[in-house]
Chain A
């Protein structure tokens, strides 16, 4: 029995070689289609990683911890108390695998007003710790004038370029920040502009001010409290497991739930997550349409091969091969062709992503400068990233195309009557 199937496989493969030109043309369509799918997904994956990287370094982190109600209320009443902060820092230290933790920083974030001598604008004020965030802060890299906050700063502040323009601020300008403090009273704080950043995200550039964390705590009468703690990890792949581990640890301590919420970035930034998902789905749909066209080419090619060999299949039937075996022969032929060319296409995609364009693809000629998306921003040079999930998805698509595109020709072959063998060309 085994030998019968080996024979069927052998005939199928030799038929592919016999129709070398047809096989190569069909394979080329698959190689290009799958290669393109792989490369485009790698580019998109790279872009998404960049968006996530930027967004996490803008303050949320891969894992963010806040009072459960703070995300909705943005009220200082819903903050992390100093005693919980200590537990939280310990929980993170024990939950994150060695080498995975890049930065861990507490912040105070509050909505308020920034007022200069000429005007005032609503802003989001962040009290940050320059010593802890140094090297990972996205804002520090986006300073276009002056400098970012440094350890030891007290009354210095860094503002978005939009804030600076609207309030006509320059380096050294004075600025009054106003916000409701911990006690619910309106508090004000005078700061000096020491740097201006430009992120490319209009809502950030027009509405964010950073000042040192100790100054913010003192000004808002927070003592040792903060509004959030962010964890930056070496790789986004660990985000889910780290969030889970920290949440588990804090549950053991009895502070998770009522007093602390631990969220991976996709829960903390649902808009960004939904945007990236929608973007990926859109790309997959577009590329699946492309691959459906390729699949039709495969169907056409295999069907033509079957129709051209009608008498041959008739002979096989006359010699005693049953319908199932004849169908299997065509199936092996089609699936082998699509699978082999699909795998070569995947290798092409990998070569494009990691070799030819391994240093990144500059798309600034299409979009100009930065690309803002769902509250995050991306550099114009995209580093392609081949994600394991995409490799699995594309392999699944290739196998599905192989089987689906061959089913009809295989079914057609099973319908060929053995009497076809007796027909002549005369």
Chain B
């Protein structure tokens, strides 16, 4: 198990006795079950576990996409549960980036417009945001694709645009739900390399929901969820993959 007191950074995310229950009475399902976590700024964390273990629900709770049934979520020190809907929208806009499994780019916008979307919503002047997007596109191999619509991009290219969209606003936190699930090995490696680079250079905190061993190998902390609660939480060296990650449920 990890030793949280040794973590050097102030927390990007804190959850305290967090529960999310769907349904009531006998049909109630505890998707997230008494989860207390602290994730420091600049961490590169993989949330793993079998399907239905509550990974996506936990990420939704952290991102303020859904309300907890009980408990507390703090992002950047702010209590997400206590916020109004517009405040939460503002928090997502300014402090949280999302990368989705299905890329989820807006099909009517070009790659450039998709990437700069959160900056546009934040009112960043056009010159400034175009400069930022161009620089990042150069860095992540999207140069020349700025005017293409998502339909004219490969899966790997679309996911890179999605990563650019998630990190451009300098968020405290990027939540990525199975970002490599629809990508081949080469595209996955390239994408993870980009995210690792952004994590190291810009100190962006990344939390991945994943089944992908390649993601877990690169992560420096792995949290394993089973039936909605944390079964294992451990720091590790990048590149290694602890045996317990791939063990069947209950074997750890």
Contacts and interface: CB of A to CB of B under 8 A. Distances in A.
Interface of A: 1, 3-4, 7, 11, 14-15, 17-18, 311-312, 315-324, 417-419, 421-422, 424-425
Interface stretch (B8-16, B60-68, B72-80, B241-249): B60-68
Given A311-B104, A323-B85, A318 B109 contact: no
A292 B182 CA distance: 45
B106 A315 contact: yes
Interface stretch (B118-126, B153-161, B213-221, B228-236): B118-126
Interface string B4-43: 0000000000000000000000000000000000000000
Nearest to B97: A319
21 contacts: A7-B120, A11-B108, A17-B108, A311-B102, A315-B104, A316-B106, A317-B65, A318-B65, A319-B165, A320-B93, A322-B85, A322-B86, A324-B86, A418-B64, A419-B65, A419-B66, A421-B100, A422-B59, A422-B177, A424-B178, A425-B102
A14 B94 CA distance: 26
A109 B182 CA distance: 93
Contacts of A317: 65, 89
A11 B120 CA distance: 13
Nearest to A7: B120
Interface string B121-137: 10100100000000000
Contacts of A318: 63, 65, 92, 98
Interface string B99-123: 0111010111100000001101101
B98 A421 contact: yes
Nearest to A6: B120
B100 A320 contact: no
Contacts, number: 84
A320 B168 CA distance: 14
Contacts of A15: 108
Nearest to B209: A422
The 4 A-B residue pairs whose C-beta atoms are closest, nearest first, are: A320-B93, A14-B108, A322-B89, A419-B65
B9 to A, nearest CB: 24
Contacts of B56: 422
Interface bin, chain B: 20 to 34
Contacts of B89: 317, 320-323
Given A315-B100, A419-B65, A424-B102, A4 B118 contact: no
B90 interface: yes
Of the candidates B98, B102, B108, the one having the most CB atoms from chain A within 10 angstroms of its own CB is B108
Contacts of B66: 417-419
A422 to B, nearest CB: 5
Nearest to B51: A426
B154 to A, nearest CB: 19
A48 to B, nearest CB: 47
Contact of A319 (B59, B85, B93, B101): B93
Given A11-B108, A17-B108, A422-B177, 12 more contacts: A3-B120, A312-B104, A315-B100, A318-B63, A318-B65, A319-B165, A320-B90, A321-B89, A322-B85, A418-B63, A418-B92, A424-B102
A14 B117 CA distance: 15
B123 A3 contact: yes
A316 B98 CA distance: 11
B108 A18 contact: yes
